[in-house]
Structure 1
Amino acid sequence: MALPTLARHFVAEGRRVRGLARSDRAEAALKAASIQPIRGDLDAGLAPITAAAQLADVTIYAAQVAFYREPAVIRTLCDALAGRGKTLIFLSGSGVFMQRTGGAWSSDSFAEDDPFVPEPLALPRVKAEGIVRASAAQGMRSMVIRPPMIWGPGDNGPVASVYRSVALTGAACYIGSGLATYSNVHSADLARLFSLAIARGQAGALYHAVAGEIPYRWIAEAVAHDLGVKTRSLTVDEAAQVFGTFGALIQSASSRSRDPRTRTELGWKPFQLDLLSEVGEPRLRALADPQFNQGANS
């Protein structure tokens, strides 16, 4: 979920929101959304960020830095907030237990505190999660929210990727059997979860947020029906040429999650349940036009 989506949610709730801006353009965008900018860059230095966090009642870490840097950044932030009674929420993701199935389905599904074998690329993220949760013993209310695939207005998720595959290949593509499955949640429902975590979340807790799950092949079939084209199965190597290397990794993997603690402890439930409701949106249909994509990439 893009940070502006979450920030706008809090502004709509009447909260005073500050957001990190690394450029003049980002600063202007925050101001336009009634968000007070904090000028800083996690790659340049943490002092402005930790100072702002110490002044805030709640800090939400949803930054995108290289995975290998996350544990050190998070430890510095937790140390700065220790003993102050502040709330820190770390936005993680269900990719930590992603399984590389080559497009096949997996029967494994993970609730909040179920053990799992971490995805190797996400080992630093798992370490960062542990630092956040352990910091609850240092006089702060810290917790982790670990959503699955996030979709909603303007997203660039799997439905968009399948539409783009039509522009590149003439068919709606999936990988292998296409039964690899990622759980999903709408961005508006996830934003509500953050509000509930602020109000009711327990120190040291981990929360999931799941509205449903759908195999990638079903997405491709829905897009194919919308555009009147065929579907096509790709090998993982072929998929890297269509979806990109990272996109092919994600769309050939399963990451199925459950959220019993979230629903019981916070009273959260999703309202947007159908990822396929995006199919047919004009913004997505445009992605299937080769000329549109050539213009976007020029």
Structure 2
Amino acid sequence: MTPERTAKVLVFGAGGYLGSAIVRRFVAAGHQVTGLVRREDAADQLRSVGAEPVLGDLGDIEAVLPLLDAADTVVFAAQLMMEAERTTVSAMIDRLAGTGKTFVFTSGTGVLSQRTDGEWSEDTFAEDDDFVPSKYIGRRKDTEDLVRAASATGLRAMVIRPAMIWGHGGCPMLSAFHASAEKTGTVCYVGRGLNLYSGVHVDDVAELYALAVEKGTPGALYHAVSGETNFRTLAEAVARSRGVQSRSVDFAEAITIWDKFTALVALSVCSRSRAPRSRSELGWAPHPDRLDIMEDVAHPAYRS
């Protein structure tokens, strides 16, 4: 898609899995893209796709804030701890207030996850459905609300809340299953493994950002989700790809295989979502060739 005008897009987290996909999408549309990265190798990667890197760290927010002044659109796709994230986003919103610029904050459907220890939950959530925020990372909902309320300050602010992202060998859950094989010789899942995160291909998430920037509503929240496959099915598929067995573990063993955060927030919960607002309001839909997460299971990146 060729934009009506070339916009200056600033992406935070541009060297990351999602951030790099967002950069590629906006560069392909003809925008002038700048990305904040922390390492020179990530800077080289940005240059290779036609974006301009800036070396820096969100931990030094006073040095970073002036970058916002030259941008038309700011995309926050960085991953920070909850309190640091809220503080950083709040400072950016204050800097952008009254400018009429676009600010897109990246959340995730972990905020609505429910701990089930491997059991399935029938609960599934659209963008503006009520839910009880996760005990563990639900504080990100406060940052979402902060961003959405900023639309009243003369800022075109929106939130995108992707489901579990996969594609190009970068899915964190698939990485965890492969890691369990490296550590234990088997691919492990928690309990009965009937739990899941709804999923979506990373390139389809990047497309949603482009649509939100083009025609999104100030103050809106948009989901990105294209399907769902339970964790036991994914673990069994990873096991077949590696020629090993899969097995169930309890939560205590899961902590020893991965770490407490991964076991608790990623692999012991159920998080199911829908995206009616993204589809109806923005015309977003996942590409028909990017619907099957099984195509990503054996990607060589998971072994490297």
Same fold (TM over 0.5): yes
Corresponding residue for residue 213 of structure 1 = 228
User: Are residue 43 (structure 1) and residue 92 (structure 2) matched?
Assistant: no
Q: Summarize the Cα distance change of 1:30–1:48 in structure 2 as closer, same or farther, 3 Å threshold.
A: farther
In 2, the alpha carbon distance for the partners of 1:162 and 1:122 equals 22
Q: Summarize the Cα distance change of 1:70–1:280 in structure 2 as closer, same or farther, 3 Å threshold.
A: closer
Corresponding residue for residue 204 of structure 1 = 219
Corresponding residue for residue 254 of structure 1 = 270
> Helix, strand or coil: the match of 1:182?
coil
Corresponding residue for residue 7 of structure 2 = none
- The Cα shift of 1:87 comes to 0.4
- The Cα shift of 1:208 comes to 0.2
In 2, the alpha carbon distance for the partners of 1:110 and 1:103 equals 19
If the length of structure 1 is used for normalisation, what is the TM-score?
0.90
* Percent of pairs with identical residues: 44
Q: Summarize the Cα distance change of 1:61–1:241 in structure 2 as closer, same or farther, 3 Å threshold.
A: same
Aligned runs of 1:1-298 on 2, under 5 Å?
A: 1-44=17-60, 46-249=61-264, 250-271=266-287, 272-284=290-302, 287=303
How many pairs does the alignment contain? 285
> Helix, strand or coil: the match of 2:229?
strand
- On the 8 A contact 1:11/1:17 being kept in 2, the answer is yes
- Alpha-carbon deviations, 1:212-235, whole Å to 9, x = none? 011100111222333343221001
Q: Summarize the Cα distance change of 1:283–1:43 in structure 2 as closer, same or farther, 3 Å threshold.
A: closer
One-letter amino acid matched to 2:269 = A
One-letter amino acid matched to 1:81 = L
In 1, the alpha carbon distance for the partners of 2:240 and 2:52 equals 45
- The Cα shift of 1:160 comes to 2.6
Root-mean-square deviation (CA, aligned residues, Å) is: 1.7
- On the 8 A contact 1:70/1:124 being kept in 2, the answer is no
- The Cα shift of 1:19 comes to 0.8
Q: Summarize the Cα distance change of 1:15–1:178 in structure 2 as closer, same or farther, 3 Å threshold.
A: same
- On the 8 A contact 2:169/2:300 being kept in 1, the answer is no
If the length of structure 2 is used for normalisation, what is the TM-score?
0.88
> Helix, strand or coil: the match of 1:232?
strand
One-letter amino acid matched to 1:199 = E
Q: Summarize the Cα distance change of 1:210–1:52 in structure 2 as closer, same or farther, 3 Å threshold.
A: same
Deviates more, 1:256-265 or 1:19-28: 19-28
One-letter amino acid matched to 1:226 = S
- Alpha-carbon deviations, 1:247-295, whole Å to 9, x = none? 21211111111111110000001021111112333444xx3xxxxxxxx
Corresponding residue for residue 9 of structure 2 = none
- Alpha-carbon deviations, 1:119-151, whole Å to 9, x = none? 123243111111110000111110000001101
Corresponding residue for residue 14 of structure 2 = none
- Alpha-carbon deviations, 1:90-134, whole Å to 9, x = none? 011001111111111111111101111111232431111111100
Corresponding residue for residue 292 of structure 1 = none
One-letter amino acid matched to 1:69 = A
Q: Which has the higher helix share?
A: 1
Deviates more, 1:3-12 or 1:211-220: 3-12
One-letter amino acid matched to 2:203 = A
In 2, the alpha carbon distance for the partners of 1:24 and 1:228 equals 37
In 2, the alpha carbon distance for the partners of 1:194 and 1:13 equals 12
In 2, the alpha carbon distance for the partners of 1:217 and 1:23 equals 36
- On the 8 A contact 2:163/2:198 being kept in 1, the answer is yes
Which stretches in structure 1 are left out of the alignment for 5+ residues?
288-295
Q: Summarize the Cα distance change of 1:282–1:83 in structure 2 as closer, same or farther, 3 Å threshold.
A: closer
Which stretches in structure 2 are left out of the alignment for 5+ residues?
1-16
